[in-house]
Amino acid sequence: MAMYIRQENCISCYACEQECPTGAISHDEEGIFTIDPYVCVECNGFYEEAQCLAICPIEGCIVKLEVATYGCA
Amino acid sequence: MGCSSKGCGTSIDGLSYLPENIREKVENHPCYSQEAHHFYARMHVAVAPACNIQCNYCNRKYDCANESRPGVVSELLTPEEAVKKVLAVAMEIPQMTVVGIAGPGDPLANPDRTFRTFELIKEKAPDIKLCLSTNGLRLTDFVDRIKDLGIDHVTITINAVTPETASKIYSWIFYNHKRYKGIEAARIILEKQYEGLQACVERGILVKVNTVFAPEINGEELEELSKKVRRMGAFLHNIMPYVEGEGTVYQKLGVRPPTPQELKEVQEKCEPHMSLMRHCRQCRADAVGLLGEDRGQEFTKDKIIHLQVNYSAEYRKSIHEEIEKERAKLKKARELMALPLEEEGKKVLVAVASKGNMLVNEHFGTAHEFLIYEVSSQGIKFIHHRKVTPYCHGSIACLEGGDILEDTISKLSDCEAIIAAKIGFEPRDLLEQKGIKCVEEFAYLPIPEALTKYYEKYVLEKVKTEG
Ligand code: SF4
Ligand code: SF4
Ligand code: SF4
């Protein structure tokens, strides 16, 4: 399970990257932010809420990836 | 008020209500002192993109709306780039004495970038003053760091007194790793804002409070708010009209901005010293320069990356000493002015073209803005700035300037006269047709002196026999 950034909505505000406890979020030179699904733990074991989702200013920019999207584990 | 001498009527700033120690700090600050604003400038650096709350009047696709800047998406800088820009501007425009961080999000929601920038500036250019604007949510967490860095001005945006009202202003806040909404969010943020204000005041940091005024939302509370923040020690309360922004919650709800009358009324009620902020032209986040001039384009990211800057505090100091000499001279000149006068005379509006140093030193055709003064036998009062497009770009014949000239003239139509260093034949004809007097004879005089002489000669029709 992991969170996912819909790049078309993202305003590159750095908020999520600063709050992520696992370092799953990074950005490239163009200011495109991505979440590494293998590092993101949906904040389990750290906080009650997914921090990126809680601070992202754009509704619908960060979404939960469903398990099914990965296929086999 | 203990206004002792006739000097009171000519006081350009009206800062006399402030305690001595605060007045000193404010007097040289281009954002707070109208007079200093003629000589010194400030700049903002956009290093803080993230925000930790959502205001209903803000669309985060643009810059922080709390600072009420027109929606310009700032060119985001790293702390290193920001410092380079500051040093470059400091050498190119030595009048720049204050650097602020205000966004495009909230500086304290980006503590690493914000404090790294301040630390670097402090290290490399210790003579530059630092300031910061915040929504207040995390102010108490960082107030000691702010104090240690020697930041002596903080602006907090506070929009409400009661949580009920605040809940109509903030959709959510991110606090202690949780997103809060509704009345709970409202309670927390108000508590934090007022705590932050108090914490700053206790440490001797000057606090200005900004309030975004939307009549249907917080109109009823503003007077109380103003009293409260002053009681708590804020030195200035600045009420800014809510400006409708594309894609905001307020826009969807149809919340309306205040009418000019409503704004004026509430400002009068809350702000007995509004004159202090009259000169604020809601600077754009990245505007650079003196008096309405914007040289921001000379310092864009791609340009500063290649710059080699040799910062010299001594050079800046020598320029500032010159400026101080000028200011002292002008101050003397002001004190010598005879206004308020014995004779009765009517009130007139006069437009002045100046490019700084409080002198009549700009040509009509190249002016980017005019300073509008109200002159009467009671004294000189600065009203505001009016922006215009210079119709003449320095060429001898200003050919395509016709429409622009019309526009400028219509913007000045309520003025009785224009005082400039030079006014060309063509505009002179048009202006005089409209009944606006064109006055060049006071070129390069200090503005107060020019205005006084104008008033005596043309309004009171009394020609002074000597100097
Ligand atoms: S859910 Fe938590 S761990 Fe995953 S990316 Fe967001 S902040 Fe990082
Ligand atoms: S918080 Fe949202 S908008 Fe900001 S960078 Fe992260 S995903 Fe993009
Ligand atoms: S504090 Fe409010 S106005 Fe400023 S960026 Fe955050 S949401 Fe926008």
- pLDDT per residue as tens digits for the range A45-71: 999 999 999 999 999 999 998 754 554
Confidence of residue B3 (pLDDT cuts 50, 70, 90): very low
Phi-psi region of B400 (alpha: psi -120 to 50; beta: other; left: phi over 0): alpha
Residue B168's DSSP bridge partners are none
Query: What mean pLDDT value characterizes chain B?
Result: 81
Identify the pLDDT of residue B344.
65
Confidence of residue B285 (pLDDT cuts 50, 70, 90): very low
In chain A, residues with a C-beta closer than 8 Å to the C-beta of B181 are none
Predicted TM-score (pTM) of the model is 0.75
Share of chain B above pLDDT 70, in %: 78
Distance A23 CA to ligand 1 centre (A): 8
Contact B54, B60 (CB under 8 A): yes
Write the DSSP symbol of residue B11.
Answer: -
Identify the pLDDT of residue B292.
56
d(CA A2, CA A53): 11
Chain A residue whose CA is closest to B58: A57
Kindly report the nearest CA distance between residue B200 and chain A, in angstroms.
26
Task: Report CB contact under 8 Å: A15, B112.
Answer: no
Identify the pLDDT of residue B358.
81
Task: Report CB contact under 8 Å: A18, B51.
Answer: no
* A20 at interface of B, judged by CB pairs closer than 8 A: no
* B49 at interface of A, judged by CB pairs closer than 8 A: yes
Tell which wins on pLDDT, A24 or B321.
A24
d(CA B42, CA B36): 11
| Predicted confidence (pLDDT) at residue B394 exceeds the cutoff of 60 | no
Identify the pLDDT of residue B145.
97
| CB interface of B with A, residues 176-215, below 8 Å | 177-179
| Predicted confidence (pLDDT) at residue B143 exceeds the cutoff of 90 | yes
d(CA B118, CA B110): 12
ipTM: 0.90
Q: Strands (DSSP E) along B319-368, which ranges? A: 348-352
User: Residue B60: which of A11, A19, A49 has the nearest Cβ?
Assistant: A11
Structure tokens at A15: 């908020």
User: Residue B50: which of A14, A47, A48 has the nearest Cβ?
Assistant: A14
CB-based contacts of B362, cutoff 8 Å, min separation 6:
B353, B354, B355, B420, B421
| Predicted confidence (pLDDT) at residue B202 exceeds the cutoff of 70 | yes
Identify the pLDDT of residue B303.
77
Contact A31, A12 (CB under 8 A): yes
Residue type, B177: H
Among protein residues, the one with the nearest Cα to ligand 3's atom 6 is B51
Task: Report CB contact under 8 Å: A49, B178.
Answer: yes
Structure tokens at B374: 């109200």
Which residue in this structure is represented by tokens 């400038």?
Answer: B41
- Give alpha helix (H) positions in B97-162: 111-124, 139-148
Which of B84-93, B242-251, B285-294 is predicted with the least confidence, judged by mean pLDDT?
Answer: B285-294
CA angle B427, B404, B351 (to 5 degrees): 55
What is the CB-side half-sphere exposure of residue B277 using CA atoms within 13 A? Answer: 17
CA dihedral B360, B362, B367, B370 (to 10 degrees): 0
In chain B, residues with a C-beta closer than 8 Å to the C-beta of A12 are 49, 76
| Predicted confidence (pLDDT) at residue B385 exceeds the cutoff of 90 | no
Contact B382, B373 (CB under 8 A): yes
Residue B156's DSSP bridge partners are B134, B209
Mean pLDDT of B3-11: 37
